[in-house]
Chain A
Amino acid sequence: MRVVHVDTITEAIKKLAIEAAYYLNPEMIKAFENARDTEVSPIGKAVLEELIENTRLAKEEKIPYCQDTGFAVIFMELGQEVHLEGGLLEDAVNEGVRQGYSEGLLRKSICDPFTRKNTGDNTPAVLHLRLVEGDKIKILFDAKGGGCENMSKVVMLKPSDGLEGIKRLVVQHCYEAAANPCPPVVVGVGIGGTMEMAAILAKKALLRPLEQENEDPELAELEKKLLMEINKIGYGPQGLGGRWYALGVKILKHPCHIASLPVAINLDCHAHRHKEIII
């Protein structure tokens, strides 16, 4: 058994929150450059150029890439051989968010759903915890923007809708989301499970590195097909016209009930901010 003090988790989350806001992953900058070089619309090219410049400025001047520094969503894989001491795990996670958003001068965007009163420190975070083999703790931190989260949904398709029904749902959803989720977007799709499982899968799917192909060849094929069809709609970067509305489609699936075919779509804006650490 390995003993880990919860302060270690607080420190890690604080660091991930700040780094996610300032430093877009290099894979995204590469994706912007590739899109800029291949975009057919002049205004789309100009937008992509601005986004590349924005990544440079944010990094150099250590200010957030986007003013919406997001909802802190954490996927944690906790080794069963780890014994946590010093306090509650959830408190440690929230303390990390609190410190990161305060010290990093990030925007506090979390409020009461009725009164809209801001909680003042961007807590509480959303924590998805899974117990796994071993004595390590893997933390995936996702700073999820509100605009793209709003352009997300879960639909309970009928089994008879099948694969074609899933394709129509995802592409039509992007058509309806239009310029709202800050394209170029990354499209997360969760297929199967129960209603809430599909939603969590869609979000988790977003955290796979953009260039990493799906391990399941059938899903890898579906991701390519969906990306091609979505980019036929013509919205392009920022919805101002062009090809590159989506930079990638990421899918996870799970067995579902014989009566159901749940599908969730979770869009992520070009501020596609996810960082990870293994403790």
Chain B
Amino acid sequence: MSNVIKITTPMDEEVVSRLKAGDRVVIDGILYTARDTAHKRLIELIEKGEPLPIELKGAVIYYVGPTPAPPGRPIGSAGPTTSVRMDAYAPKLIEHGVKGMIGKGPRTQPVKDAIVKYKAVYFAATGGAGALLSKRIKSARVIAFEDLGPEAIRELVVEEFPVVVINDSDGNDLYLQNRKQYAMPSPYYSEM
């Protein structure tokens, strides 16, 4: 495995261009949380031309709905959710300046295309490792859509938040590359 690359948010195009599929990265700075419904509302605000509750330029969005924070902790368990559910909205957000997304699972072609066209990166964090990942989150506060409960937009301050680059701005896809390396033939599945 490659060495770990340290980056700080917000991300700019220079940082994006350095990150390649398979790179292990640790992130410092601010992440914004958003799941399905928060994405839908952001898109509605963009379409109406209304101000957004977060600055999208250079932003890194983390697809997560944490558990409530226990006393004395900034946040509860906080691992990534399945990214593909955000694919209906992600290209628009990338077009409006989002540079990084953190989730789990493969993206659809329109998102991969937007990542190349507007220069962005899709990262995966370890799905289900919610207790472990929560240790890298130093503070959390709700900044929009509080009525959504676990799905509200939160501003997280993170230190050395561990992710892997899945889709880079050159169009590489780690999921596709790595599976092929380990695939063995079987009469029971066919490649799509």
A residues with a Cβ closer than 8 A to B are 40-43, 46-47, 50-51, 53-54, 57-58, 61-69, 105-109, 116, 118, 120, 145-147, 150, 167-168, 170-172, 174-176, 178-180, 182, 229, 232-236, 238-243, 269-271
A106 and B78 alpha carbons, distance in the complex (Å): 11
Task: Name the residue on A nearest B69 (C-beta).
Answer: A105
Query: Which residues of chain A come closer than 8 Å to B105, judged between CB atoms?
Result: 147, 178-180, 239
User: Any chain A CB within 8 A of the CB of B77?
Assistant: yes
Residues of chain A with a CB closer than 8 A to B84's CB: 180
Complex interface: chain B residues within 8 A of A41 (CB): 178, 181-182
Which residues from A are CB-within-8-Å of B182? 40-41, 234-236, 241-243
Interchain CA distance A82-B12 in the complex, whole Å: 66
Partner of B192, one of A68, A176, A271: A176
List, sorted by A's number, 6 A–B pairs whose CB atoms are closer than 8 Å. Answer: A63-B77, A65-B77, A66-B77, A175-B192, A233-B179, A235-B179
Q: List A contacts of B79 (CB < 8 A).
A: 66-68
Contacts of A175 in B (CB 8 A): 189-190, 192
Which of B94-102, B112-120, B122-130 interfaces with chain A?
Answer: B122-130
Contact-size category for B: 35 or more
Instruction: Collect the chain B residues with CB atoms within 8 Å of residue A271's CB.
Output: 128
CB pair B129 A239 closer than 8 Å: no
**A42 to B24, alpha carbons, bound, how many Å?**
13
Minimum CB–CB distance from B7 to chain A (whole Å) comes to 19
Task: Give bound CA distance, A54 to B132, whole Å.
Answer: 5
B10: A residues at CB distance < 8 A: none
What is the minimal beta-carbon distance from A223 to any residue of chain B, in angstroms? 14
Q: Does B104 belong to the interface (CB within 8 Å)? A: yes
Q: How far is the CA of A229 from the CA of B186 in the complex (A)?
A: 6
A106 to B131, CA, bound (A): 12
Chain A residue with minimal CB distance to B150? Answer: A107
Q: Which of these, A65, A108, A180, A229, contacts B130 with CB under 8 Å?
A: A65
Contact A51 B179 (CB under 8 A): no
* Neighbouring B residues of A105 by C-beta, 8 Å: 67-70, 76
Answer whether residue B53 sits at the interface, using C-beta atoms and an 8 A cutoff: no
| A161 CB → nearest B CB, Å | 13
B185: CB under 8 A from chain A?
yes
B175 CB within 8 Å of chain A: yes
How many angstroms from the CA of A237 to the CA of B131 in the assembled complex? 18
Please give me the residue from chain B that is nearest to A151 by CB atom. B82
List of A residues within 8 angstroms of B167 by Cβ: none
Please tell me which one of the listed residues B66, B127, B134, B179 contacts residue A269 in the complex, with CB atoms under 8 A apart.
B127
Contact status A61-B181, CB under 8 Å: no
Q: Which residues of B contact A178 (CB under 8 A)?
A: 105-106, 175
Please name all residues of chain A whose beta carbon is closer than 8 Å to the beta carbon of B174 when the two chains form the complex.
240
Q: Does the CB pair B82–A180 fall under 8 Å?
A: yes
Is the Cβ of B185 less than 8 Å from the Cβ of A50?
Answer: no
**In the bound complex, what is the Cα–Cα distance between A120 and B65 (angstroms)?**
14
Given that A171-B188, A234-B183 are contacting pairs, would A47 and B126 also be in contact in the complex, using a CB cutoff of 8 Å? yes
Verify if B164 is at the interface (C-beta below 8 Å from A).
Answer: yes
Complex Cα distance, B124 from A249, in Å, reads: 26
| Residues on A with beta carbons closer than 8 Å to the beta carbon of B57 | none
Note all chain B residues with C-beta closer than 8 A to A50.
126, 129, 132
Contact B129 A51 (CB under 8 A): yes
Q: What's the Cα separation between A70 and B189 when bound, in Å?
A: 30
Nearest CB in chain A: distance from B99 CB, A? 22
- Bound: A106/B192 CA distance, A: 38
Known: A63-B134, A116-B37. A46 touches B188 (CB 8 A): no
Q: Tell me whether A270 and B77 are in contact (CB under 8 A).
A: no
Contact of A46 among B1, B69, B183 (CB under 8 A): B1
- A251 CB to nearest chain B CB (Å): 15
A54 to B126, CA, bound (A): 10
Closest chain-A Cβ to B106's Cβ sits at a distance in Å of 5
One of A63, A147, A172, A182 near B76 (C-beta < 8 A): A63
Known A-B contacts A41-B182, A50-B126, A178-B175; the reply to A58 vs B77 at CB < 8 A is: yes
- With a cutoff of 8 Å between Cβ atoms, the chain B residues found around residue A172 in the complex are 188-190
